[in-house]
Amino acid sequence: MQWHFSQNNRIMPWKGEPDPYKIWLSEIILQQTRVEQGLNYYLRFVEAYPTVFALAGARDEDVFKKWEGLGYYSRCRNLLSTARLVVEKYDGQFPGDYQALLQLKGVGPYTAAAIASFGFGLPYAVVDGNVTRVLSRFFLVEAPIDSPEGQKIFKTMAQDVLEPDNPGAFNQAIMDFGATVCKPVLPDCIHCPMTETCGAFTTNKTRVLPLKSKKLAKKERFFAYLIFVCKRKVWILERPEGDIWRHLNEFFLIELGSEKALKTFSPEDLLTQMEVVPASVKGYDDIFEQMLTHQRIHARFFIVQVSAKPRLPGTGKWIPLQQVREYAFPKTIRNFLDSYPLT
């Protein structure tokens, strides 16, 4: 706390924010997202939707468009669902009760603790990666942070060390300390005010802790996208339930089984089977990649010009080319459109 009030100069627009709506908004945006990336999204959302009423009344498509590129789109769906519930059930006021906060979609123990402590001054400890790293090193905890045992230990420990008279400031202090001093790869032990009592520093284990028990192998997926264009309109389809990028838009997709299949893929035979007679087909050799939590996406794109709209499966729709930018797409597709704009 002394470090926080005398040396912590980490400035963020949501720090010290008393409005539970803006606290909640920042926490949802920052879930699984680096602060540097989430900052502009937070400012954009606050400007477009300054109150929970504004967000609750917004069109889904508009909100998803503003979220575009941030990833983990279930957060955006939960954002809309919770905003509307808060308006309908709580008259636009976030509940000042930890258990009630946990009932909101997308709000887990960490986010509930953040809203409770920052917005209502309630004594609930936040436990994120920064916090567990500080606790693991300082108290020399060698339980893996991703194990059930470790999670239980760190949750209890964070609550034990919490400053009950000023929980919001303490939560902010320990998170900022982990982000700026007790950093993951190169901790700034030279300027740390707690080295004399830090277990990891005194036993030379700073670069060993915290421990992780396992790493999940990433699944490789290979997408070939056919972009059907007819008379200055393009066909798009909303992604289905139960898979990545749910409710975002995409073009006609063929999922292949290997990198070789993707590199050698040619759509002519498929178009013949679909009884599509193209005016022209233009393929791009570039392979666009996107890293997700447990998956790596590899994508190639083909523009298929047709003189008459073909019958395509699914509930897709034809939209004017000039309106493509108004729809929300996954980062993979957006990167392609940035490199090769549809004209």
Q: Give CA angle at 289 (286, 294), nearest 5°.
A: 160
| Residue 208 phi, psi dihedral angles, 5° rounding | -90, -35
CA-atom Rg of the chain in angstroms: 24
Q: Using 50, 70 and 90 to split pLDDT, how confident is the model at 253?
A: very high
Average pLDDT, rounded, for the chain: 92
Q: Quick count: other Cβ atoms within 10 Å of Cβ 158? A: 22
CATH placement of domain 1-124: 1.10.340.30
Give the tokens for residue 138.
Answer: 């300082």
For domain 219-339, the CATH class is alpha beta
Please answer whether residues 28 and 75 qualify as being in contact, where contact means their C-beta atoms are separated by less than 8 angstroms.
yes
Each residue's pLDDT tens digit, 90-105: 999 999 999 999 999 9
Q: Can you list the pairs that 1-4 forms with residues at least 24 positions away whose Cβ atoms lie under 8 Å?
A: 1/163, 1/166, 1/169, 1/170, 1/173, 2/193, 3/173, 3/177, 3/181, 3/193, 4/169, 4/170, 4/172, 4/173, 4/176, 4/177
Per-residue b or e along 253-286, where b marks 16 or more CB atoms closer than 10 Å to that residue's CB: ebebeeeeebeebebeeebeeeebebeebeebee
Q: Give CA angle at 271 (265, 272), nearest 5°.
A: 115
Of 312, 322, 326, nearest to 233 by C-alpha is 322
Kindly tell me if the per-residue pLDDT of 72 is higher than 80. no
228 pairs with which residues across the strands?
304
Kindly tell me if the per-residue pLDDT of 241 is higher than 80. no
SS3 283: strand
Rounded Cα distance between 282 and 11, Å, is 48
SS3 42: helix
Each residue's pLDDT tens digit, 122-162: 999 999 999 999 999 999 999 999 899 999 999 999 999 99
State the Cα torsion 201-202-203-204 to the nearest 10°.
Answer: 40
What is the DSSP track for 304-316?
EEESSPPP-SSS-
Kindly tell me if the per-residue pLDDT of 13 is higher than 90. no
Rounded Cα distance between 172 and 163, Å, is 11
The pLDDT score that the predictor gives to residue 169 is 94
Bridge-based pairing state of the strands 233-238 and 317-320: antiparallel
From the candidates 27, 196, 220, 259, give the one annotated as an active-site residue. 27
End-to-end Cα distance, the chain: 57
Kindly tell me if the per-residue pLDDT of 119 is higher than 80. yes
Kindly tell me if the per-residue pLDDT of 216 is higher than 70. no
Q: Using 50, 70 and 90 to split pLDDT, how confident is the model at 274?
A: confident
Kindly tell me if the per-residue pLDDT of 214 is higher than 80. no
Kindly tell me if the per-residue pLDDT of 183 is higher than 80. yes
Tell which CATH classification among 1.20.1270.360, 1.10.1670.10, 3.40.630.30, 3.90.1150.10 matches the domain 127-163+177-215. 1.10.1670.10
Rounded Cα distance between 123 and 171, Å, is 10
The reply to whether 61 belongs to the active site is: no
Secondary structure element (H or E) that encloses residue 38, with its range: helix 35-48
Q: Give CA angle at 228 (223, 233), nearest 5°.
A: 135
The pLDDT score that the predictor gives to residue 215 is 64
- Which residue ranges make up each domain of the chain? 1-124, 127-163+177-215, 219-339
